[in-house]
Amino acid sequence: MPLTLLLGACNLTNASTATPVWQDEFSGNSLDTSRWGYQIGNGFMAGSDYVAGWGNNELEYYTDRASNVSVQDGNLVITARKEKITGPAGSTTGTFDWTSGRVRTAGKFSRTYGKFEIRAKFPRGKGFWPAIWMLPEEPSPYASWAANGEIDIAEGWGSKPTELAQTIHYGGVWPNNVYSGTTVNFPNGGTMDQWHTYAVEWTPGKIQWFIDGTLTSEKTQWWSAKNNPPTSDADLNAWPAPFDRPFYLLLNLAVGGNFDGNPDATTPDQGQMLVDYVRVYGMQNETGSAGPHPDMTYPWTPKPARPALSDGNLVYNGSFDWSDTDPRVTPDTTSLSGAANSKFWTLYTSDGQVTLSNDAGALKADVTNAGSVNYAVQVRQDGLNIESGGKYEVSFDAWAQSARPMMLKVGGGQDRGYAAYSGEQPVQIGTTKERKTVTFDMKATTDAAARLEFNLGNAGTGPVWFDNVVVRRVGTAAGARPPAADGNLLYNAAFTQDATATVPGIPGVPGSAYWTTWSNVPERLTTGISGSVITLNVKDVDPANNWHVQLNQAEVPLTAGKSYTLTFKGRASDAREVAVVIGENGGSYARYLDGKAALGATEQTFTYTFTAPVTNIGAQFQILGAVGAAGSSYGLSFRDFRLVQNP
């Protein structure tokens, strides 16, 4: 999601008063295992659950082999290689297409406060994700991630070599965590594949980031919650938690996943992260007071609510016809560059590009570069007062030069972890003007600064028009839906119930009530139901992420701390391993169950047990099936889905 840009400031380092306390100059012939330990694999255990892809859908399998981690010519060399490897993945064995290295000082060195300085050189290439970061030494008094904190000293996007991320993670226990990050440009026109010195100076109540001695960002506000989910100031740990306990260092080179996306045809088959040294210093002012807790907003902090218009519309200037002299326009009101009469609207782009203009009273968004994610081109309005317990309707006129999808979302900003109150709703736009309507129940805490997003990225180029945008409250949200008569939390598990006006299903597919399918390219997926079996026919698959083909059911109620068992029968036209997920519908898409199903030509029964980490009456069940070589075609068939709460 979008981060704030901050360019080089003055050098405020306290190096003159720093005292060396720990270092590694990598002067030997191999990794010093008295200082560093290896992490091996493609994931980790969280209680009894295995979290694949390190929680980020990463592709690499970390090893302790010299081909991935070595010391050469005075440098630590971490090498990511495109090669097949088979290894443990929780209770099963997996095959992975990349290897790499990840080392850390956990259990060997950790420190509260100080200056942490690392001289390093990162690789270019789409999907490479080099990282220098810190996590709390265990045991921590602050529960688990991210209530116990994370400090990211430097994270590089392999596809954006002029930019670097500097971030802290904090807040509640996942999935109620938040983060605060800054994207900076390298000083003096530098790039990530040059040598740079990265540093943080961490003192009570303040964390500062430096590149080559230049101060590039600073954080003085954060929080840590002792209850999950946190709902009030009474749930807070004492300031400056969680950044007042010992943290250890990690160095790794990830491949693929949520940060820079997966490698593409331009990515080299090998990338190297070089580290010249790691040096840690004590600082003269690290024993001082953190001072009083800074004033800041929390997810539960009431915000001034912008009133609805006289007709109940929460969207201001929804018809793109308000003049700049309208009395509701203030000096800080946003607008869209290139489009007149666009006050109260905002544009965000990551790696996408769009030209905005007015056309016959509507907003015209001509997408010239679709980017790699749906929010790569995002037209939005902030400041909507979405109240807990309300039912809301979003409606608007839309049309496009060529038929295409978009993603609509009503959700929170950075202090809400970009939560999706509406879920991420796919909307198909045709070539003639048509009224689109989406409804949702607001089940989160009231947000007076919610956002309406039209996400046009990663879905083709060309003009799209919007007009007459309305978001209004239309009733009271429903509570958690009860289990079916047989105790199943999944409705219409036998695929015998047709969709209705109030119970949607898969368009044009009888027997699909309560179920949905999705593909990033709609014509690549067709769905059929016969004899209580649902079949997804995938054509010309895009396997960049397995979620590019989905079978979903939303509104699944789960209770924190309760155990659940999921069973179903499945097969495939040929051997395919698909993902089986139950988790958050929007926001961080946190996964409470993150499993795999190895489908073959013979039908098998699959069983999964998990414990819900949070109460979520609107969770989502998913089969994610974009698997195999690019362009391949296959069929996936399922029946007898059953999800029950265990005694």
Domain-terminating residue out of 476, 506, 535: 476
Alpha carbons 632 and 357: distance in angstroms, whole number:
40
Tell whether 611 and 561 lie within a shared domain.
Answer: yes
Contact present, 634 and 572 (Cβ < 8 Å): yes
Tell whether 387 and 449 lie within a shared domain.
Answer: yes
Q: What single-letter amino acid sits at 417? A: G
Tell whether 258 and 120 lie within a shared domain.
Answer: yes
The answer as to whether 354 is a domain residue is: yes
Q: Which two tokens stand for residue 329?
A: 């326009």
Q: Which bin fits 421, alpha (ψ -120 to 50), beta or left (φ > 0)?
A: alpha
Chain segment 149-167, per-residue pLDDT in tens = 999 999 999 999 999 999 9
Has 584 been annotated as catalytic? no
Q: Please give the angle made by the CA atoms of 638, 643 and 645, to the nearest 5 degrees.
A: 170
Domain-terminating residue out of 281, 298, 332: 281
Question: Taking residues 305-328, what's their average pLDDT?
Answer: 96
pLDDT at 570: 97
The answer as to whether 174 is a domain residue is: yes
Tell whether 452 and 550 lie within a shared domain.
Answer: no
Chain segment 363-417, per-residue pLDDT in tens = 999 999 998 888 999 999 999 999 888 999 999 999 999 999 999 999 998 777 7
Chain segment 626-640, per-residue pLDDT in tens = 998 888 999 999 999
pLDDT at 3: 33
Has 150 been annotated as catalytic? yes
Whether residue 16 is predicted with pLDDT greater than 60 in this model: the reply is no
- Chain-centroid distance of CA 214 in Å reads 29
Alpha carbons 372 and 352: distance in angstroms, whole number:
8
- 3-class DSSP state of 286: helix
Domain that holds residue 210: 101-281
Tell whether 259 and 388 lie within a shared domain.
Answer: no
Question: Taking residues 99-109, what's their average pLDDT?
Answer: 98
Q: What single-letter amino acid sits at 362? A: A
pLDDT at 221: 96
**Catalytic: which of 150, 201, 286, 424?**
150
Q: What is the mean pLDDT of the chain?
A: 91
Tell whether 453 and 552 lie within a shared domain.
Answer: no
**Catalytic: which of 117, 155, 453, 555?**
155
Long-range pairs, 46-53, Cβ under 8 A, ≥24: 47/611, 48/611, 49/593, 49/594, 49/610, 49/611, 50/89, 50/90, 50/91, 50/594, 51/591, 51/594, 52/89, 52/90, 52/94, 52/594, 52/596, 53/257
Alpha carbons 140 and 4: distance in angstroms, whole number:
30
Total structural domains within the chain: 3
Tell whether 439 and 523 lie within a shared domain.
Answer: no
Tell whether 440 and 519 lie within a shared domain.
Answer: no
Q: What CATH number should be reported for the domain holding residue 108?
A: 2.60.120.200
Whether residue 183 is predicted with pLDDT greater than 50 in this model: the reply is yes
Most trustworthy range by pLDDT among 226-230, 567-571, 586-590:
567-571
Whether residue 178 is predicted with pLDDT greater than 90 in this model: the reply is no
Q: What CATH number should be reported for the domain holding residue 414?
A: 2.60.120.260
The answer as to whether 501 is a domain residue is: no
Domain-terminating residue out of 259, 281, 303: 281
